[in-house]
Structure 1
Amino acid sequence: MTDTGKEPWLTEGLALLAEQGAQALTLERLCERLGKTKGSFYHHFGSMPKYRTSLLAYFEAGFTAAIIDAVERSDAGSGREKLERLLLKVALRDGPELEIAMRAWAKQDPEAKAVQARVDETRTAYLRTLCGQAGFADPDRMAKLLYVVLIGAGHLTPPLPSAEVVGLYELLLSSDQTVIG
C-alpha cells in the first residue's frame, strides 16, 4: 500500500481520526503517539497538508479499493456470492468510528469532501455492478439501499451491532423487491 516509513504515520493518523476527529490530526499528537520526531514526519511528508492528502489517499486505498480487490480475488464466483462476501466483510469490520469521522471531516474540508464523494461513488458503483450480476430488478436502487444501511447503522446511538447489520442485509437480499406505491 505504501512504504514502511510512511505507513505507521498513516495508520496512527486514521486511529487518531477515528478516536478524536480531524481537529486532533496535529503534528504534536502524531509525534507523541508514535514516539517519533517532527524531523521524521517532515522527512516523509514535508508538510501537514501533504500528510492529510496522503492520509485521505491511504483511507481510500485501504477502505475501498483494497476491499473491492479482495472480493474480486476471492473464490466467490457469481455476482450474488461476491455481493454476499462484500456485505459480510464490511458488516463485520471494526466499529463505524472511522467512517463517521471521515464524513465529519468531509463536511469541513473540501479535499476530504472530494475524497469522500469519490469513495461513495466507487463503493456504490461496485455494489450496483454486483446487484446487476446478482439479478436484482433495480440494481441502482438496491445498491443505494445496501450502502445506506451500512452508513446509517453506524450513525445510530448506539451503532447497530454487526450481527444486526448482517441480518438486515440478509433480509434485503431475500426481499421480493416490492415497490411501495
Structure 2
Amino acid sequence: MVGKRDWLDAGLVLLAEQGAPSVTIERLTERLGLSKGSFYHHFKGMSGYRTALLEHFEAERTTRFVAQAEQAGGDRLRTLMDLVTAPGPAPGLEIAVRAWALQDAEARTIQERIDRTRVDYLTEVCGDAELGRALYLVVVGAGQVVPPLSGRRLRSALELVLGRTR
C-alpha cells in the first residue's frame, strides 16, 4: 500500500529531476500509478502537499543527517561528510529547492531555516562559526557549479578547507 511517505519521496524525485513546477498531482499520480483520490486521501490539495514536501525535504536532508551524526559518536564531521557526499539526488534536489525558494515565500522560509540549522550544527561540530560557515558555503557552491561537483570532488574540497584551517 502506498502511504504518505511514498507520495513525498516521489515528489522529491520529481523536484530533483525537473524542478518545482513539475511537481503536480498529474505527474505524481502518473509516476506512482495511482489515482487522484489516493493523493487526496493523504493531502488536502497541492498547497498542503507542497508544505509537506518541503518539510519532508528538511527532515530527510537536514534533521536526519544531524541525528545520524549524533548517533555515530566519534567524528561527527566525518559522518556528515559521508552523508553529504553519498550518491543520490542531492545536488539536483538542493538546487531545485533553492530555485523554488527564490520564487515562493513558504519555500524561502523553510530554506532559511534549513540553512540556519545546518550552519549552526556545523558551527557546533567545528567549534568555530567561520569554519562552519565556510564548509557550508563549499557544499552549497559545489552544487551550483555546472556540472555540480561529484561526491569525491566535494569531499576533496571540504578536506582542503579543513586542512588549511586546522
- Shorter-chain TM range is over 0.9
Structure 1 residue aligned with 2:14: 16
SS of alignment partner, residue 149 of structure 2: coil
Q: Pairwise mapping of residues 150-165 of structure 1 onto structure 2 (< 5 A)?
A: 150-165=139-154
| Partner Cα distance (1:44, 1:141) in 2 | 42
Give the superposition deviation at 1:176. 4.0
Aligned to 1:83: 77
Structure with greater helix percent: 2
Which string of whole-angstrom CA distances, capped at 9 and with x for unpartnered residues, describes residues 90-110 of structure 1? 122424000000000000110
Give the corresponding residue for 1:109: 104
1:13–1:30 Cα contact (<8 Å) kept: yes
Query: CA offset at residue 111 of structure 1?
Result: 0.5
Structure 1 unaligned regions, length at least 5: 133-138
Instruction: Give the Cα–Cα distance (whole angstroms) in 1 for the partners of residues 95 and 137 of structure 2.
Output: 13
- Larger of the two Rg values belongs to structure: 1
Q: How does 1:1-181 map to 2 (within 5 A)?
A: 5-76=3-74, 81-94=75-88, 95-132=90-127, 139-176=128-165
Worse-superposed segment, 150-159 or 97-106:
150-159
User: Which runs of 4 or more aligned residues in structure 1 lie more than 6 Å from their structure 2 counterparts after TM superposition?
Assistant: none
Task: Give the drift of 1:18.
Answer: 0.6
Q: Taking every aligned residue pair, what percent have the same amino acid on both sides?
A: 47
Aligned CA RMSD, in angstroms, stands at 1.2
TM-score (norm 2): 0.94
Q: For each residue in 1:137-168, what CA deviation from the matched residue of structure 2 results, as whole angstroms up to 9, or x when unmatched?
A: xx111111100110111111111121111111
Q: How many pairs were matched up?
A: 164
